[in-house]
Structure 1
Amino acid sequence: MGQGGSPGKQHGRMEREESPSAPEDGCCRFFRFPLLVAVLQLLLGVAVAAVAFLTLAISPSSLLARETPHWAGIILCLVSIIGFILYCVNYRPDERSSVQFIVKLLYFILCMIGLVISLLAMAFAGHHYSQSMGFSCEAEGEDCVCTADKDDPIARTFTYQGVSDCQVITGTLPFYFLIQILLNLAQALVCAVGAFIMWKQRYQVFFAGLQIGSPSSKQWQKV
C-alpha cells in the first residue's frame, strides 16, 4: 500500500499549509498602524497651527502664546514624522532590531507628550473662550479695550492693540477659541489611540489580520 496517499493529494495539502498571505492593496496599507494615526496627527497639527496663526493676526502684540497655541500643532507635526519613520522601519519579531525598538519607544513617549500638550492647549482655549464670551468692549482710537464686567469699576481690562473693530474680539476671537478646543480635543484622542496601540502591542498580545494556512501552523500576521 502507498504511504501518505497519492502525490497529487500531498501536493495539494502542502499548497494549503504553505499558502502565502494575500497581498495588501493600497487601501489596506493606508489603514495600517501607524500610517493612519500619523496622517491624522499631521493634518490636525497643521490645522491647529493654521488657526493659531489666524488668531495671532487679529492683534499680534496683544495675544499671548497660550492664546495662540501654534506650538501644540508644530509639536504634533513632529510626532507624525516619527510615526511615518516607524511605518517605514522593517518589522522584525520580538523587536530584535535596535532601530525598531528606539523608534517605537520614541513614538510612544511623543504620543504621550502630544496628549498632555493637546489637553493643556484645550484648557487654555476653553478658559479664554469663556472669558471672551463675557467681554464688554469699547473702541479707543485704534485699540479695543475690553472688560469682563462693565459694572465693576475695578474689573480687569484687556487692551487689544491695532483692533479698531471690537466685533472681532467679541465675535471672531471666541470662534477661533472654539475651533481650537475641538481640534485639540481631536489631537488628544488621536495621540491617546496611538499610545494605547503601542503599549498594547508591546505588553499584550495584539494581532491584526487573518490566520494564514491551517490551524496547526499558527501563523499570524502581526502589526
Structure 2
Amino acid sequence: MGQGQKGSLDKKEGKKKRDESPQPEDRKKCRGCRFPLLVALFQLLLGVAVTAVAFLMMAISPSLLTRETPHWAGIILCLVSILGFILYCITYVPDDRMSMQFIVKLLYFVLCTIGLVISVLVMAFAGHHYSQTSSFSCEQVGEDCVCKLDQDDPIARTFTYEGASDCELITGTLTLYFLIQIVLNLAQALVCAVGAFILWKHRYQVFFAGLQISSPSTQQWQKV
C-alpha cells in the first residue's frame, strides 16, 4: 500500500473518530438532570408542603406551640432550595476558580446539613406529639377541648386546646397532621442528605483531570 493511500485511510479514521465523539449539544439533552436542579426542586416542593401542613395545624387551635407546628422548618428548606437554583444558574468553572461559585457551594452544603438536622428534630417532635395525641382522652369544655393521657388519673397532666370546636379535631385530624409531618420531614431529611453528599463527593472525591481517553470507536472525557 502506498504512502498516499495510507495517509488517506488515516485521515478517514481520524474524521470518523471526531464525528463519533460527544457533541456539545448532547450534553444539553439532560440539562434538567444536572445537580442541584432536581434536589432544589424537591426541597422547594417539600418545604412548601411542610409549611402548608403546619399552617393547617395552626388553624385547629391557636394554643399549639411552635414546635408542634413546624412551619419554620419548611420556610428554611425553601430558602435552601432558592440557593440551590442560584447555584445551578452559575456557570461551571473547573477547580472552583470563581469565588462566587465557591461561596454559594459552601453555603448550600452548610444549609443542606442544617436542613437535615432540623428535619430530624421536627421528626422527633412530631413523633412524640403523635404518640401523645393518639392516647388522649378528650372532652369539650365550652369552646375549648381539654385532654388527658389518663382520664382516671386525677393528677394526670391536662392539655387545653383553645378554640377547638370539636375534640375530634385533636384526636383525629391533628394526629393525622403529625403523621404527615413525620413522612414529609423524613423525605426532606433524605433530600438534604443527598444534596450535601453529592456536593461533598463532587468537591473532594473526584476532580477533572483534563485527560482525553480514546477508544477504537469513541473519545470521551472522563473524571479521574
TM-score (norm 2): 0.89
Q: CA deviation at 1:20?
A: 3.9
* In structure 2, C-alpha distance between the alignment counterparts of 1:64 and 1:113, rounded to whole Å: 22
Helix, strand or coil: the match of 1:54?
helix
* In structure 1, C-alpha distance between the alignment counterparts of 2:5 and 2:199, rounded to whole Å: 46
1:38 counterpart residue number: 40
Matched, 1:150 2:155: no
Q: CA deviation at 1:131?
A: 0.4
* In structure 2, C-alpha distance between the alignment counterparts of 1:92 and 1:10, rounded to whole Å: 34
Matched, 1:16 2:33: no
1:1-223 pair list within 5 angstroms: 1-2=2-3, 5-7=6-8, 9-14=10-15, 16-17=17-18, 19-21=21-23, 23-24=25-26, 28-60=30-62, 62-205=63-206, 214-215=214-215, 219-220=221-222
Which structure 1 segments of 5+ residues have no match? none
Q: CA deviation at 1:212?
A: 7.5
Q: CA deviation at 1:23?
A: 2.3
Q: Deviations over 1:21-55 (max 9, x none)?
A: 35248762222211000000000000000000000
What is the Cα-based RMSD across aligned positions, in Å? 2.5
* In structure 1, C-alpha distance between the alignment counterparts of 2:123 and 2:29, rounded to whole Å: 33
Q: CA deviation at 1:145?
A: 0.4
Q: CA deviation at 1:2?
A: 2.5
Helix, strand or coil: the match of 1:87?
helix
Task: Assess, with a 3 A threshold, how the Cα gap between structure 1 residues 194 and 72 changes in structure 2: closer, same or farther.
Answer: same
* In structure 2, C-alpha distance between the alignment counterparts of 1:25 and 1:8, rounded to whole Å: 30
Q: Residue 17 of structure 1 contacts residue 213 of structure 1 at CA under 8 Å; is this kept in 2? A: no
Q: CA deviation at 1:9?
A: 3.5
Q: Residue 212 of structure 1 contacts residue 220 of structure 1 at CA under 8 Å; is this kept in 2? A: yes
Q: Identity across aligned pairs (percent)?
A: 67
* In structure 2, C-alpha distance between the alignment counterparts of 1:23 and 1:220, rounded to whole Å: 18
Residues 9-18 or 66-75, more deviating: 9-18
**How many residue pairs align between the two structures?**
218
Q: Residue 206 of structure 2 contacts residue 223 of structure 2 at CA under 8 Å; is this kept in 1? A: no
Q: CA deviation at 1:139?
A: 0.4
Q: Residue 207 of structure 2 contacts residue 223 of structure 2 at CA under 8 Å; is this kept in 1? A: no
Which structure 2 segments of 5+ residues have no match? none
Task: Assess, with a 3 A threshold, how the Cα gap between structure 1 residues 94 and 215 changes in structure 2: closer, same or farther.
Answer: farther
Q: CA deviation at 1:149?
A: 1.0
Structure 1 counterpart of 2:214, one-letter code: S
Task: Assess, with a 3 A threshold, how the Cα gap between structure 1 residues 143 and 27 changes in structure 2: closer, same or farther.
Answer: farther
* In structure 2, C-alpha distance between the alignment counterparts of 1:11 and 1:3, rounded to whole Å: 12
Structure 2 counterpart of 1:137, one-letter code: C
Q: Residue 213 of structure 2 contacts residue 222 of structure 2 at CA under 8 Å; is this kept in 1? A: no
Structure 2 counterpart of 1:134, one-letter code: S
* In structure 2, C-alpha distance between the alignment counterparts of 1:145 and 1:195, rounded to whole Å: 44
